[in-house]
Amino acid sequence: MIQGRAQGHKVARRNRSAAKGKVGDWAGRMVNILVRKWRLKMLQSVLLIAGLAIGYRIVDLQLLDRQFLQNEGDKRSVRYESVAAHRGVIFDRNGDPLAVSTPVMTIWADPEVLYQASDRWQVLARELGVTHRWLSDRVQVGKSRDFIYLKRQLTPEQGARVMALRVPGVGAINEHRRYYPAAEVTAHLVGFTNIDESGQEGLELAYNEWLSGEPGQRRVLKDRKGQLARQAELMKSASPGKELMLSIDLRLQYMAYRELKKAVEQHKAKAGSLIMLDVRTGEVLAMVNQPAYNPNNRADMQAHKMRNRVVTDMVEPGSTLKPFAVAAALESGEFHTDSVINTAPGYLRLGRDQVKDNRNYGAIDVTTVLRKSSNVGVSKMALAIGPDKVLDLLQRVGLGQSTGTGFPGENPGYLPYRDRWSDIEIATLSFGYGLTVTPLQLAQAYTVLGSGGMMRPVSLIKRDVVPEGVRVMDQQVADDLRIMLREVVHGGTGGRAMIDAFEVGGKTGTARKVGPNGYIKDRYIGMFAGLAPIDNPRFAMVVIIDDPSGKNYYGGLIAAPVFSRVAAGALRMLGVEPDELGNPGGDRRMAFIPWALDERSVSPPLKEG
């Protein structure tokens, strides 16, 4: 019985366990069902939210924020290209163009795209004017880049023919190229630009910011190969550069260039310079140099040809400085125009040094000192007044300082200052040794004599208003000096500077060239500085012939004739009335007086013993 009861308990327990198992299975099934439903709902909710978000974004992009998709599309098809700005034109004072910009086309390529079109290289190379090998090497080397130039600055016609080939990966840019109508005649003054139209020399460099324009921008549509589909719109117009009107007269410039070149070739000189300044305004009317270069063809450009010697090269002025030493003596009050200086016996011994004249002129007045270019006479005057008064006047007329033109590379020259001066240093200073000037500085100093003692700043730009100027020299002294300079031409070393129907005045000068070891034997610089017409000067001019190789080297022989020819043409071009008491017959007899030609103010005193 006990066993039966125990057996019953076991059965009951099994039944309860089975019942519990059934309940557990049912509960598990219910839980699984609930979990699945929850997951389904969750998934449905997520999908619904995602769908709503996507739908909202679609509506937002298509209706509310359309610019985003537009920008993304533009990034793949719209390109912004620069529109070249027209560089400002440079004119002479009469409106003749000296530098203009002409339209050109530059051909470029996407090397990766062009590489795939190798079968078109032959025809492309022929149209570009290059060899097939050059084009192949160009593409191969630049294959890793996104952009290479194939040919720059083609004419619009040439560029159009290249683009008509429709070679994949090849495009064009519209640019401008600088052209100089007067070529080498104005090259040293105007200068030139590089291939990107940025000023490199001369006034192109000095006024680069003024002349440069501001590039514009346009939007274009391109296909997937980068080819132009169509132009969309101009985003920003290009602003052209400002115009520049120079002070030079192109007619005078041509004439001065022709005469200077002829003289340099005739005397087999290394170089030459000529500068003409308007006495009344300080404007540069002509500025030329030799040798010259053509800025339109730069295949054979050399540094020594590109230098504007009028403003960059320094020379010892020699006897052309004597009028200012005489002016200092007259201003001091210790000398007058009729003062007599004894130059006998034709030389002046200063310690171990000696100052010489061509011959013994004896007792002569101040005018004759200049007319015969007496080293002894001007040295005695300078020694009498002292170096400070000479230096003061030289500084007042602009020597030893920049003229302020702003021309790149302008040289200020050298004016010596010492605590103690020896007699020989004072003497050599008086006739133009021991200091250096540029031709432009010397011309400016002569304008002071021409304007009655007034100094006006030099200008390379045409002036609308004439500056008043500053008085730097006594007017009577300046007037006296002009009379003396006329005598130099009429009866002195400047005889070959005379011209028909006009009275002119000036001073010759011949200086030894300086080398690494001092003055060089038998190498000279011939100069002439003068005013025309002398009674009422219209312009001052300086002519320099550097290192002539012929037998003639004196300034009166090689530089004065250039002054005569250029001044004669300039006075007629400028409409200056002839002098009533001028030189109507063109009598040049003084040009053939031996002592007038044999100017011996050519070298500093030689050291003796």
177 with 278, same domain: the answer is no
Give the chain's length.
609
Of the listed ranges 124-128, 133-137, 263-267, 596-600, the least confidently predicted one is: 596-600
- The identity of residue 100, as a single letter, is V
User: For residues 516 and 30, what is the distance between their CA atoms, to the nearest angstrom?
Assistant: 114
319 labelled catalytic = yes
The candidate with the shortest Cα–Cα distance to 462, out of 196, 247, 181, is 247
Q: What is the pLDDT of residues 520-545, one digit of tens each?
A: 888 999 999 999 999 999 999 999 99
pLDDT at position 594 over 50: no
Catalytic annotation, pick one of 101, 212, 247, 319:
319
Q: What is the pLDDT of residues 48-75, one digit of tens each?
A: 888 888 877 777 767 666 666 566 555 5
Which pair of structure tokens corresponds to residue 441?
A: 């500085």
pLDDT at position 237 over 60: yes
Q: How confident is the model at residue 605 (pLDDT cuts 50, 70, 90)?
A: very low
Which of the two residues, 225 and 313, has the higher pLDDT score? 313
Cα first-last separation, the chain: 166
Q: What is the pLDDT of residues 455-486, one digit of tens each?
A: 999 999 999 999 989 999 999 999 999 999 99
Which of the two residues, 458 and 4, has the higher pLDDT score? 458
Contact criterion met (CB below 8 Å) for 169 and 114: yes
564-577 residues labelled b (16+ CB within 10 A) or e (exposed): bbbbbbbbeeeebe
605 belongs to a structural domain:
no
pLDDT of residue 521: 85
pLDDT of residue 303: 86
Classify residue 209 as exposed, middle or buried by CB count within 10 Å of its CB (0-12, 13-18, 19+).
Answer: exposed
Rounded to a whole number of angstroms, the CA Rg of the chain reads: 43
Q: What is the pLDDT of residues 415-429, one digit of tens each?
A: 999 889 999 999 999
Q: Is the pTM of this model over 0.85?
A: no
111 with 133, same domain: the answer is yes
pLDDT of residue 142: 81
Contact criterion met (CB below 8 Å) for 432 and 321: yes
pLDDT of residue 350: 92
Highest mean pLDDT among 145-154, 205-214, 476-485: 476-485
Task: Note down the domain range covering 152.
Answer: 79-245
486 belongs to a structural domain:
yes
Q: Give the CATH number, domain containing residue 366.
A: 3.40.710.10
Q: Give the CATH number, domain containing residue 165.
A: 3.90.1310.10
239 with 255, same domain: the answer is no
Average pLDDT for 170-190:
92
301 belongs to a structural domain:
no
141 belongs to a structural domain:
yes
41 with 120, same domain: the answer is no
74 belongs to a structural domain:
no
133 belongs to a structural domain:
yes
117 with 144, same domain: the answer is yes
Of the listed ranges 185-194, 286-295, 588-597, the least confidently predicted one is: 588-597
162 with 25, same domain: the answer is no
pLDDT at position 310 over 70: yes
Which of the two residues, 298 and 216, has the higher pLDDT score? 298
Contact criterion met (CB below 8 Å) for 424 and 253: no
115 with 46, same domain: the answer is no
166 with 255, same domain: the answer is no
HSE of 50, CA atoms in CB hemisphere, 13 A? 6
Q: Where are the alpha helices (DSSP H) in 432-587?
A: 439-450, 475-491, 555-558, 560-573
Q: How confident is the model at residue 35 (pLDDT cuts 50, 70, 90)?
A: confident
Average pLDDT for 378-403:
96
Q: Among residues of the chain, what percentage have pLDDT more than 70? A: 84
Average pLDDT for 330-358:
93
Q: What is the pLDDT of residues 485-495, one digit of tens each?
A: 999 999 888 99
**Cα dihedral: 60, 65, 69, 75 (round 10):** -160
Domain count, the chain: 3
Domain boundary, last residue among 245, 264, 283: 245
pLDDT of residue 1: 52
**Cα dihedral: 255, 261, 263, 264 (round 10):** 160
- How does the average pLDDT of the chain come out, rounded? 86
607 belongs to a structural domain:
no
**3-state DSSP assignment of residue 291:** coil
26 with 90, same domain: the answer is no
